[in-house]
Structure 1
Amino acid sequence: MAAPPNNRLQTMLRTAVQSVQWTYSLFWQLCPQQGILTWGDGYYNGAIKTRKTVQAMEVSTEEASLQRSDQLRELYESLSAGEANSQTRRPCAALSPEDLTESEWFYLLCVSFSFHPGVG
């Protein structure tokens, strides 16, 4: 499961992504109990495809990317919890699986990856 966001790490990931104009950055961390690399955090900076929604205020591109990173994390947690509990509520009315671009899907799937020693 994805870890809660770390503001300092989010800032470093955002800076790295924006400085080289990448679509996203991923941070993997060692899970010492299992001896595997698991998702630590990430920052999404790519295209955002959504249905038209009414927003109370304009947000900057940077803020939109940060919000999208958080929405993707919430969507993953909702979908993974849904496997065990079909009564799980949808995390964000502004985001649904139908709204995702291919790069958002790849980013979202990376959250579920883990790597054992010698693999990858």
Structure 2
Amino acid sequence: MSEKILTMKLLKERYGVCRLDKTELIPEWAKNSDFFSITRTSDELSIVCSQDNIPDDIKYEKDWRILEIQGPLDFSLIGILASISKILAQNGISIFAISTYDTDYILVKNKDIDNAIESLIKERYEVIG
């Protein structure tokens, strides 16, 4: 049997991807989960956090699950996100990706998570959690 390529961990919570105005301050509710990501650009303030923390008046996409690539990953590694996104795209699964200094996170809609995990396991990825 072939050796696994990488190990990914499925985080337990469901997450939302929020869009706020570029001028807004970073809200406290965004920081109240084990995982959150905040990105400000010249066009928007984008926040990923536990969907249970997002107020009703915020524009967001809900029901995302997160697969964390177990790191840390070396900056010299090439094609990790491309490989994973290709596998998922071939199975009709769209993603939202977040990269940090140590690793990458792949967000997949909850309705697609079982199919995503199956697809990755078939391609020698290990998924835990």
TM > 0.5 fold call: no
Query: Which is strand-richer, 1 or 2?
Result: 2
Q: Higher helix fraction: Structure 1 or Structure 2?
A: 1
Query: Normalised by the size of structure 2, how large is the TM-score?
Result: 0.27
